[in-house]
Structure 1
Amino acid sequence: MTFSSGHRKGYRLRPNMASVALWPSWLIVLAGYLVTMIWTVLISFTSSTLLPVMDFIGFAQYERLFLTPRWLQSLNNLALFGVLFIAASLFLGYLMAAALDRDVRGEAIFRSAWLYPYSLSFIVTGVVWQWIMNPQLGLQKAVNNLGWDQFRFDWIIDPDRAIYVVIIAAVWQSSGLVMALCLAGLRGVDPDLWKAIRVDGIPLWRAHLSIILPIVAPMLITAVVLLGIAVVKSYDLVVALTDGGPGTATDVPAKFIMDYLFLRGNVGLASAGATVMLLGVIAGLAPWIYSTTRKSSK
């Protein structure tokens, strides 16, 4: 079948028309993200309080930021939350995926039940776990009503343990995502490899650790990136679950920034905190982006 020159020209123009159709989306991205990020960075070098003002004061806001105990505590909380949340989600998610990969009966029910929490927003998760952890309403109250009056599970009001309540709630919601990703990776493993493992008599735990994990590593990396994004966006979970309390025991940088931006009327300091978080995200993603682009260019 042959095409006339007119048909060939029209065919060549279609990709260009498709790119033109995407221009409004690109403009929205540039205006909504890039321009606002540049504006935030600029404001962080000013003395802006309730309203932005363009008077350059250097790094004074950053010096004040890192001399604020609440900001330092929020960074410590974020580091602890991020490490334990990602590690626990990866561990539990992979265990659930490995269990489902054994062709268990009722797999669809288990898979749906474990993945269901991820469909909820962090706000809903925070409210649900606030009820569960409330000593007067939740788990402690239920166990006390059964006769165990000495049982105590009041972590949510304990400044030293409240951050672990946030971690538990986040793991409950996100481990199902890791399970789904890892299960997709496990289902891609060659069945002949499993036969060889059984023939050689390799223990199941050793096979997963030494053979299977390297195969599903791309899925785990994807999970780490998605969980890392959830760590940075942990504002809504913290607000719904503990509101940063008791005191500032569960405060995170995102809540610090929002409080100083809307409640304390210090736009300059809030912008400095947002810029620090932006630089942290870029520093964390840069090695992954570099390795990905380098592999694709080979």
Structure 2
Amino acid sequence: MSVTSRPAHYGFAEHWLPRLVLAPSFLLVLVFLYGFIAWNGALSFTASRLLPNYEWVGLAQYEALFASERWWVAVHNLFIFGVLFIGGAMVVGIVLAILLDQKIRLEGALRTIYLYPLALSFIVTGTAWGWMLNPGLGLEKLMHDWGYAGFSFDWLVNPDRSIYTIVIAGIWQSSGFVMALFLAGLRGIDDSIIKAAQIDGASLPRIYWRIILPAMRPVFFSTLMILAHIAIKSFDLVMALTGGGPGFSSDLPATFMYQMAFTRGQMGLGAASAMMMLVTVSAVVVPYLYSELRRSRHV
């Protein structure tokens, strides 16, 4: 049957069937994602406490949020965690990717070992590292049992150091993911570039630093966006490892929001903090989406 002689119902099905199939998913996303975002935004302007209360209070919840010492501790911790987590995971992941790119023996086994932490949830990672860093149970006790009585590593219970234990666990969890992304990028580089540079007398470290890594800017940018998103919304790792403590010394905005909305009965304040997190995530994701759309138009 020719195209021109197809039945009329065929064109109708071809045009509307994909839309009908996608409609339920679209409606679910519209209601349970964007609808709840809008509802959360509305609650942030109300006097909601243990239950939703639609008494309009304007910017009172945001004023209370910015006046909260605990909120600013969480923001400061997010800055520390974000910089060290993103930087550490990038450095470790790139180094591992470069080492594996040398086509060493047992590459498949090593790649699996490095990627294994990615298969674990942050809850499992936080619990395991909580055991290892517990002064009475993990590394410090092990060193004492070996005879190093003066060894001390009490960061987990030290309010000034607890946030760095989250950084350690986060880097361990995510560096394998960064390695996989950069290894895929490195395998896409033409070997003739490296050989030509070596003929010109360039050493292998200089080749990677001056030629290979600068050519991987899209991988850098994508990895940075993903890690920044993970850092901003980190919740389960903190709750499993430190619970936000000691006190609230290792709080992050996500744990602050949870404590306010679901533990302390201050739903309006928790909604306001969630909206601030949304603004922060948008500040990271929107420029990335804009650059991707702009790049696709020029291709």
What range is the shorter-chain TM-score in? Answer: over 0.9
- Match of 2:93, SS state, is helix
Corresponding position of 2:294: 294
Question: Is residue 82 of structure 1 aligned with residue 82 of structure 2?
Answer: yes
Corresponding position of 2:186: 186
One-letter amino acid matched to 1:292: E
Check 1:7–1:227 CA distance in 2 against 1; reply closer, same or farther (3 A cut).
Answer: farther
Corresponding position of 1:226: 226
Measured against aligned partners, the alpha-carbon deviations of 1:110-156 in whole angstroms (never above 9, x if no partner) come to 10000000110000000000000011111111111111111111111
Corresponding position of 1:123: 123
Which stretch has the larger CA shift, 55-64 or 237-246? 55-64
Measured against aligned partners, the alpha-carbon deviations of 1:172-200 in whole angstroms (never above 9, x if no partner) come to 00000000000000000001111112111
TM-score (norm: length of structure 2): 0.95
Give the Cα separation in 2 of the matches to 1:66 and 1:92: 36
Corresponding position of 2:141: 141
Question: Is residue 160 of structure 1 aligned with residue 160 of structure 2?
Answer: yes
Measured against aligned partners, the alpha-carbon deviations of 1:199-247 in whole angstroms (never above 9, x if no partner) come to 1121222221221112222222221122122112211000000001111
Question: Is residue 97 of structure 1 aligned with residue 97 of structure 2?
Answer: yes
Corresponding position of 2:66: 66
One-letter amino acid matched to 1:149: A
Which stretch has the larger CA shift, 208-217 or 111-120? 208-217
Question: How many Å apart are 1:57 and its aligned residue?
Answer: 1.4
Which stretch has the larger CA shift, 135-144 or 197-206? 197-206
CA RMSD of aligned residues (A): 1.6
Give the Cα separation in 2 of the matches to 1:63 and 1:139: 43
Question: Is residue 199 of structure 1 aligned with residue 199 of structure 2?
Answer: yes
> 2:143 touches 2:151 (CA, 8 Å); kept in 1?
yes
Corresponding position of 1:209: 209
Gaps of 5+ in 2: none
One-letter amino acid matched to 1:123: I
Measured against aligned partners, the alpha-carbon deviations of 1:251-292 in whole angstroms (never above 9, x if no partner) come to 011111111111111111011100111111112222222211
Corresponding position of 1:19: 19
Give the Cα separation in 1 of the matches to 2:10 and 2:224: 44
Give the Cα separation in 1 of the matches to 2:94 and 2:51: 48
One-letter amino acid matched to 2:165: V
Corresponding position of 1:32: 32
Check 1:146–1:189 CA distance in 2 against 1; reply closer, same or farther (3 A cut).
Answer: same
% identical aligned pairs = 44
Q: How many residue pairs end up in the alignment?
A: 298
Give the Cα separation in 2 of the matches to 1:206 and 1:11: 59
Which stretch has the larger CA shift, 105-114 or 224-233? 224-233
TM-score (norm: length of structure 1): 0.96
Give the Cα separation in 2 of the matches to 1:132 and 1:8: 68
Structure 2 counterparts to residues 257-276 of structure 1, below 5 A: 257-276=257-276
Corresponding position of 1:285: 285
Check 1:7–1:85 CA distance in 2 against 1; reply closer, same or farther (3 A cut).
Answer: farther
Give the Cα separation in 2 of the matches to 1:233 and 1:81: 12
